[in-house]
Structure 1
Amino acid sequence: MSDASINTTGAQTQIGDAGFGDYFALLKPRVMSLVVFTALVGLLAAPVGVHPVIGFAAILFIAVGGGASGALNMWWDADIDRIMKRTKGRPIPAGKITEGEAFAFGMTLSVMSVIMLALASNFVAAGLLAFTIFFYVVIYSMWLKRWTPQNIVIGGAAGAFPPMIGWAVATGGISVESVLMFTLIFMWTPPHFWALCLFMKSDYENAGVPMLTVTHGRRATRTHILVYTILLAPIAVGTAFTSIGGPIYLAVALLLNALFLKGAWDIWRRDEVQAEADKYRTEKKVFALSLFYLFGHFTAILAQSALAPFGIGGW
């Protein structure tokens, strides 16, 4: 069991100071915003319409479920969050909220979100949400993250489920299109996260987390980023020729994948002397591009869906 589950005494200072902002921070709002956006795209891109009230409720409960995952992740990772510069300001290591309170908060929101999504939409969507929470907390956080450098490769599936959940809300099932949206996020996650790891390596070393940069070094990580980006490109571009794609999506995909491939190539060509000389400027640039990459693809899917009823934008 993680030290985070038993080391509670050191985190119980200043608990009375916890406010709404501290509990909201437990939900990992930045990650939750990506969950909401991709789930919304999955819902709106589906070929079946959803009543606005049902759609709003579904997205709300998906967001709550995503936030619950974040709270449970912070509960489990509290011990390493206290060590890493990037995370030591989070509510638990900062002494605002105890680990027990974070666990209770996360579990309550998890159960509530799954039950309410089932009532608002269907059991397929609720089942996918429940599995997503389980996957992120148990498979990724408790098992993979501290055990294998492939943690983010396999664990990335947790962040890839939201568009499938949104699609299931509308259709009650899974399709090729929803699997493609899942695969797009799944394949994007490793190069996105490894680009971050290249200039955050010391954090993971200090915390003893076996990220690829720690176990295999930055040279191997650069190669992995290039390989995964090459594998990602045909999936992203190929989606243009499905029912959720079209000329608009194709144009966006071609541009973004060309830029992402160039960025991955630039990262691969560099050595550590060059990177340290300019303080990992290229790596940080590619990491920022990776954020826009995913947003651009899903925005294009949303645009295609919005234009479809007017007979515009499709093949």
Structure 2
Amino acid sequence: MPSKADLSSTTLPRRQLGRALRDARQARGLTLDQVAAATRISRATLSRIELGQYARVRDMEVDYLSRYYCLPEARIDYLKALASEASTKVWYQDYRHLILPRFNTYLELESFASEFWFYQPIVIPGLLQTADYARTLERLHRPDDSLDEINNRVDLRMQRTRILARQHLPVRAEFLLQENILYTLVGSSQIMGTQLRHIADLSTRDNVTIRVLPFTAGLPTGSVMPPHILLDFPDNEPSVVHTEAAIGTMTFDDAEDVKRFRALHETLQQASLEEQPSRDRIRKIARRYEQ
């Protein structure tokens, strides 16, 4: 059975820091017990630091361990910067009352990813949605919510879309969209026309690729593929796969699971239209909505 990662008790900077310190310890041929005996840090604390589960890692602890492992100054500065990031307030913390359990984990991964590989057969991915399209979905999904609650959730989604246009550490994102998404009416023809033109315009950005998996491709993988997002990270942080549905989400971090998803995703890529034909098709369908 695939593994379901529980990353809720840690963050990406903590995991990066923990893995780096573990690698440094092992490079010196030391065990946790040996380090604990020679330093002022208990074995339990060392273990939690290496697992990325210690929320209060201080600069002095990172500096102390790094020098004990004889790391160079540049590496020590980098690890201390990671420790600082681990305790920094994330941008979406102000929206935490709107975020479903476990989606908080995905947002943290999304914030630090360097590359995204999306496949969506049902609905326009959140990072590509216009506010009107997102608002329509929120009203359908939560008909009893107040207008303020809906608008706050839409604002959260619009905040997320900024990752595609950020100047610092720009992400690389590829979206594979099943063609039926383009014909699935959400809200009104005007909303859909504007939405599809927005997608086509985004696809002209250097860091964004949007490709359509046409009806004529059939089932390239031989089975029904769920919506999924492959996330790659800097500094050799292991890749993960995130999947979601109406009743819950799963995050896969087992290397074999990720490898399998990547192979299936590549099969979908091979069956998809190239960038310019995809853009042309999206704009053609947008014009139909606008007529």
Q: TM-score, normalised by structure 1?
A: 0.28
The structure with more strand, counted as a fraction of residues = 2
Higher helix residue share:
1
TM-score if structure 2 supplies the norm length?
0.29
